[in-house]
Chain A
Amino acid sequence: GENVEQHPSTLSVQEGDSAVIKCTYSDSASNYFPWYKQELGKRPQLIIDIRSNVGEKKDQRIAVTLNKTAKHFSLHITETQPEDSAVYFCAAGDDYKLSFGAGTTVTVRA
């Protein structure tokens, strides 16, 4: 089955700096790569996703890159703000299943 590795497990950044989270996956059949943000005690919420026919996608301060050959994808958050503090999960999968990474706890220091 699919195995998703996510690094780092914790990330502390100064407000205004960038944050980068990296994930690798094992199943070359995976075609869908979403990123979820989960605040304490709340449901995961999609922040950005990318499909295998696209190498990069950007939405305001958030961008995701995908390298299918190397089987890795990354999340980039620029100009971080205190409200970006949360746990971020990457996932990889297809129509019927998503496998999640272990999560990255991001803390933005004011």
Chain B
Amino acid sequence: EPEVTQTPSHQVTQMGQEVILRCVPISNHLYFYWYRQILGQKVEFLVSFYNNEISEKSEIFDDQFSVERPDGSNFTLKIRSTKLEDSAMYFCASSEAGYNEQFFGPGTRLTVL
């Protein structure tokens, strides 16, 4: 069964550094999402991406964040200047169409020191 994959599984970075989190959505899916989950808390929506542009973004997704689909398979989340409070598990998800099941990747645990 196809799955969403994410790399790396764990990223440790210094405050102020840039990080890029990578995701490979399921191949025939058209909608892509990033969520984050701070340890022990709920899943929070960051951004959705469809037809090569951002469809919607949350208040969390400020100018420090950007997303890109650099080729036909990858979907990336960039954080330009990381802060301590960016430490969280970041999940990528994809869905075939709107109102369809969103399949989550295994997550990237980001630790900002």
Contact = CB atoms under 8 A, between A and B. Distances in A.
Interface in A81-95: 89, 91, 93-95
Interface residues of B, number: 23
Interface stretch (B13-21, B75-83, B101-109): B101-109
B67 to A, nearest CB: 13
A57 interface: no
Given A31-B99, A43-B106, A46-B103, 20 more contacts: A32-B99, A34-B101, A34-B102, A43-B105, A46-B101, A49-B101, A89-B42, A94-B98, A95-B31, A95-B50, A95-B55, A95-B97, A96-B31, A96-B98, A97-B55, A99-B45, A100-B42, A100-B44, A101-B42, A103-B42
Interface of B: 31, 33, 41-45, 48, 50, 55-56, 58, 91, 97-99, 101-107
